[in-house]
Amino acid sequence: MHSPSPTISTGKPLLDTALGLKQNRPPVWIMRQAGRYLPEYRAVREKAGSFLDLCYTPALATEVTLQPLRRFDLDAAILFSDILVIPHALGQPVRFAQGEGPVLDPIDETTLSTLKPEKALDNLDMVLEAIERIKLALSENKTLIGFCGAPWTVATYMIGGRGSPDQAAARLFALNHPKAFAALIDILVEVSARYLIAQFRAGADMVQLFESWALNLDEEAFRSHVIEPNRRIIEKVRSFIPDAPITGFPRGAAGMLAEYAEKTGVSVLGLDFATPLDFASSNLPKTLPVQGNLDPLRLVAGGAQMEKRANAIIEAFADRPHIFNLGHGIVPQTPIAHVSRLVDLVHGR
Ligand code: CP3
């Protein structure tokens, strides 16, 4: 299960909440808070060259990580990077094509053996250096969040070569080549755990496992592809960093949400915006901190559509530790004024 409530504050409201210490108002950060809706991000992105150059240049990654905190009174910074740096570090070609999203050379049962897990961490050195720099620049009361993609979600890109609405390529691969699929998941569990441990050592206060494609799985597949690999990563990380605060965000987990929380041992459960508030409230242990879950399009629309729902979310989780967030990443067309308004509303202003 998740860690017990602390009695002493760390001085960081968001980290305290993740550790089980309820606040009067929820702390807030926004998934994908550094990104294209900010003109200052687009300016740095343009001069960086490729997206991966931006991720691997510590001074630039630090700069774009801090940009949203200069504009908004957010309680956390999230490392600027991507979940696909792991396949890239394993030696799989990854490109971020303009307007197309990420594209990878797909791996299969014969090319799996070309991945180089023993080299992977060396290739992520620049990301760890960015964490050190961000930590030095960040105010004492702000939480620094590290992250990686969870194995299933990363595997869907490695096998399919790109994002897909139903993850059919990876789901079929798991059914037709169970041994090769298990070997791939084992590699991702091992490398991701080592990567997260290194992120904590570099200065991350907590980390999030992005399981963005946890949808479209039957319960058997959900248990083997999502719950078990997430559980193993958390267990490995905590064998080096006892009680490490770890958020799991199994987007689309639906009826498997409570089982995911219980079996993986996440410290915080991230809720997507389709999760009903009363369902979450009544099916999750009252001591379990939750994160979420405003529809990102309500932030685009703004006004009463955003404010009424944000207040309903705050009210629904008022009796437990709650970190306010969107229920998925912020989208590029989001007006900046709406983000300011949301952050003020959450802080009770
Ligand atoms: O939250 C943050 O601000 C930290 C940075 C961050 C990025 N990607 C930067 C990024 C984080 C946490 C991610 C996670 C990520 N990346 C996920 C999981 C979260 C989710 O949204 O489901 C996934 C699935 C990816 C893979 C990925 N990277 C996709 C599908 C895309 C293309 C879609 C898009 O938004 O463009 C990316 C590219 C990417 N990652 C961008 C950013 C800011 C945009 C690239 C650009 O600037 O050209």
**CB neighbourhood size of 99 (10 A):** 4
Dist. CA 4 → ligand 1 center (Å) = 32
- Structure token pair of residue 137: 């620049």
Q: Whose CA is nearest to atom 36 of ligand 1?
A: 101
SS3 label, residue 157: helix
Question: Three-state SS string across 299-328, please?
Answer: HHHCHHHHHHHHHHHHHHCCCCCEEEEECC
Crossing angle of helices 151-160 and 178-202, rounded to 10° = 120
pLDDT digits (tens, 9 = 90+) for 34-61: 999 999 999 999 999 899 999 999 999 9
**Taking Cα atoms as reference points, which of 98, 56, 47, 97 lies closest to residue 80?**
56
Q: To test the ligand 1 pocket, which listed residue (28, 30, 83, 127) has its Cβ within 8 A of the most ligand atoms?
A: 83
Q: Whose CA is nearest to atom 7 of ligand 1?
A: 82
- Structure token pair of residue 342: 């949301």
- What is the predicted ipTM? 0.93
Q: Whose CA is nearest to atom 5 of ligand 1?
A: 80
Which atom, in ligand 1's list, is nearest to the CA of 147? 12
Q: Is 157 annotated as a binding residue?
A: yes
pLDDT digits (tens, 9 = 90+) for 47-100: 998 999 999 999 999 999 999 999 999 999 999 999 999 999 999 999 998 778
The CA distance from 249 to 93, in Å, is 26
Helix (H) or strand (E) holding 62: helix 58-71
Which atom, in ligand 1's list, is nearest to the CA of 42? 47
Helix (H) or strand (E) holding 291: strand 290-294
Whole-model pTM?
A: 0.97
pLDDT digits (tens, 9 = 90+) for 295-317: 999 999 999 999 999 999 999 99
SS3 label, residue 255: helix
pLDDT value of residue 1: 47
pLDDT at position 4 over 90? no
- Architecture category of domain 13-346 in CATH: Alpha-Beta Barrel (3.20)
The CA distance from 150 to 90, in Å, is 15
Q: To test the ligand 1 pocket, which listed residue (37, 71, 82) has its Cβ within 8 A of the most ligand atoms?
A: 82
- CA 329 from centroid of its chain's CA atoms: 9
For residue 311, cis peptide bond before it (omega within 30 degrees of 0): no
Which atom, in ligand 1's list, is nearest to the CA of 33? 3
pLDDT value of residue 98: 77
pLDDT value of residue 100: 84
The domain spans of the chain are 13-346
Q: Whose CA is nearest to atom 25 of ligand 1?
A: 83
Q: Is 338 annotated as a binding residue?
A: no
pLDDT at position 340 over 90? yes
